[in-house]
Structure 1
Amino acid sequence: MSTDRTLPALLLALAAAVQPALAAAEDGPRSPEAPPARAAARPPAARAVAGLPAAALPPAVPPEAAPAAPGPLARAETRRESFTLRQLGALGPLALRGTSELGGVQFGVRADEVVTAASLDLSGAMSPALIPELSNVTVTLNEQYVGTIPVTKDQPRFDHVVMDASPLFFGPDNRLNFRFSGRYTPKCNDMLSGLLWSTIADTSTLTLTLVRLPPRHDLAELPSPFFDAHEKRPLVLPFVLPAAPGAGALAAAGIVSSWFGQLADFRGASFPVAGDGPRTGNAVVLATPEAMPPGLAMPPIAGPTVEVVANPDDPSGSLLVVAGRTEAELVGAAQALALGSRALGGSSAAVAPPSIAGRAPYDAPAWIATDRPVKFGELVNAADLEGVGYVPGTVHVPFRTAPDLATWRDRAFPVDVVYRAPGGPVVDVAASRLDVALNDRYLGSAPLAGDAGLARTLWPGSAAADAAHHRLDLPPYAVFGRNDLSFAFDARPLDRGECVAVPNDLRMAVSPDSTIDLSRAYHVATLPNLQFFVNSAFPFSRMADLGETAVVLPRRPAPAEVESFLDLMGRVGSLTGTPAARVSVAFPDELGRVSDRDLLLIGGLDRLGEAAKLLDGSALGLDRGTLSVHLNRSLPGLGRLFGDRSGDDRRDAEAQIRAAASGSLAALVGAQSPLAAGRSLVALVAERPEGLTDIVASLGDAQQAAAVQGDLSLRSGGVTTSYRVGPTYRVGNLPFWLYPAWALGGSPLGVLGLVLLAALLLSVAAFRLLRRRAGTRAG
């Protein structure tokens, strides 16, 4: 049976599952004799993770000793939520034209929720030249008819057109479409005419009434209910930690938060610290026998354990418990969860710490390979490379890479694009084109009539008449950590004479076998560069699991400091595509233990203790508990003569620090680690711990993150300013014959110095040669 037919039946079954709970909500509490809302789940029992030893397993729970299944909820959790089309993914108003008649948005519904009612409130406008009897906009949900927006001759704008959508139309993944059909004359309409248009405002709303299904406490359902990929909103998941967490407990929390950050990906994630536990909803709990949250009933901890239990204060919420007898076992349980969650099952599982092999540099799963050409089909689904209509919208091929790519004399990265569009009597391929851009930077256009012979080689099975090939170059300076390679088809219909219908249900596509090749790149960069840290978590992400990184936190970190640490680990997971399974945490009096690692310092200025000396390698320091900039007063004009403007930046930064309101200043600092040459330090410090959460949250905003540059970024009053105030250093490797060109690139004074040095050497050699010849003649 097809999916389209089974989907309504599945939704009906889900609705039936919550019907008793809905009745309980409407008619009052159910009697003890009433049947439960759904069949009781199998008794929870701990079992070993597949492939891991089971020596630490507690004895199986006999059926007669299993706890009774919880009774039905007193009230079904029902919520009502509204989304604008922009919140659902629209980049702006949906512009429907004669040659681009279809537009829409995609959205999801959580797997543990059922839609019981839905309505649309639409606004927009239509061309006043349209014939009402022959024009309209049809609204569909998953290809099911929802309603029609009619044309009103005397009122082009329409506001608050409300229509209901059947709950049976909804599934986990949904597509809301708007199809425009317009005519301005009964016959012979020109599809390219400016009279054929309609616009759906992106402020139009979709309102859903949702019912939460009773939770299933089964590890096999992970990451649900704590994260659901169908949601586009940022993930907010509280963490509950021991009152005085040690370095191991903090590292375990960082590993788990990086796993959830990896899952959340582009959505973003935040992990507030919830003290004794959240009163409602879901949370992650890290527990040891000495630090058990109040109200949490667990059997004795016999080793590293992962468990899902009900929230004692909210029957519809769940707690993901990561437990161990020691902090080392906590780290092992966190690693087993982050790396082997798919092998877990039951409500509780005893796990063994996994054996983690060391990673190779630059092997982050989210980063594009740089040792071979990469096909577009490896980066996006083939369906995402297709479009419908003469102007089907933009095809996006996002990719991520390390930010330290360098090539000989900035040689470009080649991209071979094969694309297909209908030709012959349908599309005027001579006047039609494919526009290409990288990160909104226009790269060029290619005609739809291209090299068909090479296209058939690169796209086997394509027809000579409708396939084309185009070679383009990506300049290295335009490639960042996060990139978006976009393709926009702009097709023109072929003139087929008057009153001859022109088909508009056309399909155009970029081949998934098209390639992008970064293999000519080398890895080398000048640091510190805070933009690298913001966009790619570099240089820490050089090892994707943070195996060469240590996070330095105060001995007794404040909740805001822990939250900032967890949010940063979640960000690292999203940028690398893998959990930070080997990150280390150290306190200020343990710096000797992590001196050979890259360091990430997080804390309030008055709580850094001995870690404050880590700032000695930068142009910053602490003066009686406040941030200060070391001003270089020796020969200030000499550096400016040779292009050094750091002195000006230092004075500007010092002025801003002095002007900042008391307690409102936070800073992001980059420098070389004073503990080891070639190692990096990034410090997030603030006058108050709460300022840390503000600067970390600003990194998730594209506009505010773009303002983070150089080696010092100050944030005060919601405004970010950046400076270059300290010395630089180099990381990475280049062949010896490429290093001079890279080192002198963009530095006229460096080239001039090299020329003078060469002239001096040649003069000395010529002098010695001439003097020898003169001596020979004299003898």
Structure 2
Amino acid sequence: MVNSYLSFVFAFAVLATVSLPSFSQDETASEAQDRLPTRLDSIELRDFDLDNLRISGQNPVVTVAFGSRIDELVTAASLTLLVRSSPLIESDTAQLVINLNGETIGARSVRSDDESQLTRYQFDIEPHYFSTYNELSIELIAGRAAMQCGAASPGTWVEMSGASTLELTKQQLRLENELAFFPEPFFDERSFDPVQLNLLTPEQPSSSKAEAMAMVAGYFGAQADWRDLDITYTALNDDAEWPEYHSIVFATHAELDQLGLPVETPDAGAVLMTDNPQHPAYKVMLVTGSDDSEVKQTAQSLVLTRAGLSGDQADLRPQTIDPRQPYAAPNWVSTQRRVSFSELVSHPSELQREGYRPAPINVGLRLPPDLFTWQRYGIPIDLRFRYTPPVQADESRLRVFINGQFTQAYTLNQSGRQSSTERVRIPLVSDINDANRLQLPAFQLSTINNLSLEYSFPRPIGGCDYEPANNTMGVIDGNSTIDLRGYHHYTALPNLHLFAKAGFPFTRYDDLSQSVFLLGDLTSSEQMITLLDTVAHMGASTGYPGVLLQVSTIDDYQPDTKRAEKDFVLISHYALQQFSNRFGQNTLQRQLRGQQLAGHPDTLSGADLTFTSDGPGAAFLAFESPLSDERSVVALLASEDEYLSRLRQVLTSAELSDQIDGFLTMLTPSRIVSYEPRSPYYVGELSWWNRMTYHVAQHPVVVVFFALLAVILIALMVYAGLARIAQKRQAANS
């Protein structure tokens, strides 16, 4: 009893300090709530990325999951279902039952109307049922007409339209100025909504401040992971408005007074939390230091040591940061050790399914972009799994797919536990038929892959009074492993597809210690946002912030011998023009000539390398660095800065980025066109023998020539040997 009382007191104290709005003594709680902003979220079922929107007697439940932010309170909610139902459903007994977090919200009788017509069902949901993580389940309890068996029949089905909506009215809550919750409220891992990140500076940024903002953008990119990330940048000039949302400001101590915020100037590098001066329902975090260099150091310390922050101010000391090893990205499958499935999912429940034909278990595999798989049979997986044993031998199976293509299947026996007697291999090339192997289909693995494991259990058959228990379960053991040991890193560049999907080759070092970002103008907000989006995209790929990146304008950049060993990202056509003028353009022109694009009026024009078409246009361009062999340059170009938004749109879209490829991708308002490189260069490490055999194999005519030459030489040697033997025999006979 005492423990329950203490738990209640603690929970109440947390809500009072974190979630409840503050208001003055002359203002009622209702009035304080009224002045806090509210918003309406309308989420369609298709947005939940469900594998199947049909529920039936064999699969009677569909569950959708979604989160709620710590700084928002659901004040009203409703669910509108648009459904088609089977004409075989018995209207007197069929029901749709809605549950939220284990609580029944409501039920509606299902009418067996014409299946071509949509029927609308409305459910109002009490707000107190919502929590930080929510599971909404839609269950069909059905009978079948004409006195036939009911719930177990696949003929009793209801199909929901993807346009069915869940509407949530949310009210913003005023939080205390508390750093302990960072990265909240700027990012809340419980929310599946797109992440909005507002970065600000009091004046136009210096290179150090641009680096600080890019580090923080990379950190939030790593946190957001699969979520959309919307980054804005604002220079707080005299007439600038504060964003109506949470914001992060990068300012020196001298600039704090210009902001008019109620904070005391710290003595050293620090982060402070305060209210937004124009929109007090939202928070502002200040990343500050005595000068721009210390602001950068504070940002580094913030993204690396956020644990332990507390209160409304935290002093952060500069850290000595050693460069990380290549291919150390947390999100990439390691080539140094076996990686267990439990490391590849966020929660163990993701490896478990329930039902007769449950949704697949999906495991994301981010492979190193330059993984060298030539002449390898496949990537081995040690797969272990458990399941509800079938009562009798039947067609219960576990099927394995990679990127939607069937790989292998296992028949489930009555033991309830199995492991593959031979390793499952993600196929890389076609394999000949072998007595001990399944002949596998040929396909090419990409950087981002989906391993799908699908259980299926036949439904028990009984009389009309027999009700199946619906208690079948399948689990993939978290100790299952994928093993990339022994694989080398080697690939051909330029390859913009690797850049679009994984930020390669820059993300080879996940701290971006080998990367330089060169802008044409730091005062251009479009160029700054493009920088921040690009670094955030790289952080999402690696899972690690680029704390050692370098940002500069092309005019200020002065490479020395050490810095020449870098990869470059150029933002704006001016940056490309000046880079080419200063360091040469032979490697670029070699690629352009290969596609007969040099001087073409619709692409890049002659020596100035600028767009000359009248309409808006943009391009991704990649070529070998003129400063160092096996180093890369990727340029993000637009006919005008405002059209850089088109580049960002394509780069951050999972679908559109599939079209980025080759060494040049041209973007217009209606088309995306890519050009393959004619003069590739290679990066990575291979033994001399593997390197020689790989490159020789790329030229089959050369292989045939040397094979014929070898056959002729062998034939001549055999002929000469036989001739000597014949001469000896003749000499002996004579």
Same fold (TM over 0.5): yes
Q: TM-score range by the shorter chain?
A: 0.7 to 0.9
What SS is found at the alignment partner of 1:107? strand
- Asked if the contact 1:93–1:202 (Cα under 8 Å) also holds between the matched residues in 2, the reply is no
- 1:519 maps to which of 450, 465, 485: 485
Structure 1 residue 331 displacement after superposition = 1.4
- Asked if the contact 1:130–1:182 (Cα under 8 Å) also holds between the matched residues in 2, the reply is yes
Q: Which residue of 2 aligns with 1:113?
A: 72
Q: Which residue of 2 aligns with 1:601?
A: 569
TM-score when scaled to structure 2?
0.86
Instruction: Return the alpha-carbon distance in structure 2 between the equivalents of residues 358 and 750 of structure 1.
Output: 43
Q: Which residue of 2 aligns with 1:26?
A: none
Q: Which residue of 2 aligns with 1:711?
A: 663
The answer to whether 1:616 aligns with 2:585 is yes
Change over 3 Å in CA distance of 1:290–1:597 after alignment to 2: farther
Structure 1 residue 171 displacement after superposition = 0.4
Output the amino acid matched with 2:445.
V
What does 1:149-298 correspond to in 2, within 5 Å? 149-154=108-113, 156=115, 157-185=117-145, 189=149, 193-276=153-236, 278-289=242-253, 291-292=255-256, 294-298=259-263
Change over 3 Å in CA distance of 1:17–1:558 after alignment to 2: closer
Q: Which residue of 1 aligns with 2:26?
A: 34
Listed one character per residue, the Cα deviations across residues 112-156 of structure 1 (whole Å, up to 9, x for unaligned) are 111122111111122121112221111100110011131223455
Output the amino acid matched with 2:447.
G
- 1:505 maps to which of 468, 471, 494: 471
Instruction: Return the alpha-carbon distance in structure 2 between the equivalents of residues 16 and 347 of structure 1.
Output: 13
Structure 1 residue 670 displacement after superposition = 1.2
Output the amino acid matched with 2:276.
N
Change over 3 Å in CA distance of 1:555–1:114 after alignment to 2: closer
Structure 1 residue 257 displacement after superposition = 0.7
- Asked if the contact 1:84–1:202 (Cα under 8 Å) also holds between the matched residues in 2, the reply is yes
Change over 3 Å in CA distance of 1:101–1:322 after alignment to 2: same
Output the amino acid matched with 2:61.
L
What does 1:91-490 correspond to in 2, within 5 Å? 91=50, 94-154=53-113, 156=115, 157-185=117-145, 189=149, 193-276=153-236, 278-289=242-253, 291-292=255-256, 294-380=259-345, 381-407=347-373, 409-425=375-391, 429-449=393-413, 464-467=415-418, 469=420, 471-476=423-428, 478-490=444-456
Instruction: Return the alpha-carbon distance in structure 1 between the equivalents of residues 259 and 720 of structure 2.
Output: 87
Q: Percent identity, aligned pairs only?
A: 27
Instruction: Return the alpha-carbon distance in structure 2 between the equivalents of residues 115 and 438 of structure 1.
Output: 39
Structure 1 residue 499 displacement after superposition = 4.9
Output the amino acid matched with 1:683.
A
- Output the aligned Cα RMSD: 3.6
Instruction: Return the alpha-carbon distance in structure 2 between the equivalents of residues 239 and 663 of structure 1.
Output: 31
Structure 1 residue 83 displacement after superposition = 1.3
Change over 3 Å in CA distance of 1:13–1:76 after alignment to 2: farther
Output the amino acid matched with 2:626.
P
The size of the alignment, in residue pairs, is 693
Instruction: Return the alpha-carbon distance in structure 2 between the equivalents of residues 10 and 133 of structure 1.
Output: 45
Change over 3 Å in CA distance of 1:258–1:701 after alignment to 2: same
Instruction: Return the alpha-carbon distance in structure 2 between the equivalents of residues 284 and 607 of structure 1.
Output: 28
Instruction: Return the alpha-carbon distance in structure 1 between the equivalents of residues 677 and 107 of structure 2.
Output: 61
- Asked if the contact 2:572–2:635 (Cα under 8 Å) also holds between the matched residues in 1, the reply is no
- Asked if the contact 1:555–1:587 (Cα under 8 Å) also holds between the matched residues in 2, the reply is yes
- 1:744 maps to which of 696, 700, 712: 696
Q: Which residue of 1 aligns with 2:649?
A: 697
What SS is found at the alignment partner of 1:119? strand
Instruction: Return the alpha-carbon distance in structure 2 between the equivalents of residues 313 and 555 of structure 1.
Output: 29
Output the amino acid matched with 1:722.
S
Listed one character per residue, the Cα deviations across residues 439-481 of structure 1 (whole Å, up to 9, x for unaligned) are 22222322223xx8xxxxxxxxxxx345453642112463322
Instruction: Return the alpha-carbon distance in structure 1 between the equivalents of residues 8 and 633 of structure 2.
Output: 53
Change over 3 Å in CA distance of 1:74–1:498 after alignment to 2: closer
Structure 1 residue 759 displacement after superposition = 7.3
What SS is found at the alignment partner of 1:410? coil
- Asked if the contact 1:270–1:570 (Cα under 8 Å) also holds between the matched residues in 2, the reply is no
- Asked if the contact 1:113–1:210 (Cα under 8 Å) also holds between the matched residues in 2, the reply is yes
TM-score when scaled to structure 1?
0.81
- Asked if the contact 1:268–1:571 (Cα under 8 Å) also holds between the matched residues in 2, the reply is no
Q: Which residue of 2 aligns with 1:51?
A: none
- Asked if the contact 1:403–1:536 (Cα under 8 Å) also holds between the matched residues in 2, the reply is yes
Output the amino acid matched with 2:26.
A
Change over 3 Å in CA distance of 1:424–1:248 after alignment to 2: closer
- 1:728 maps to which of 680, 683, 703: 680
What SS is found at the alignment partner of 1:538? coil
- Asked if the contact 2:17–2:176 (Cα under 8 Å) also holds between the matched residues in 1, the reply is no
Structure 1 residue 763 displacement after superposition = 11
Structure 2: which 5+ residue stretches go unaligned? 429-442, 606-610, 723-734
Instruction: Return the alpha-carbon distance in structure 2 between the equivalents of residues 691 and 35 of structure 1.
Output: 48
Structure 1 residue 747 displacement after superposition = 3.4
Instruction: Return the alpha-carbon distance in structure 1 between the equivalents of residues 716 and 554 of structure 2.
Output: 54
Change over 3 Å in CA distance of 1:768–1:711 after alignment to 2: farther
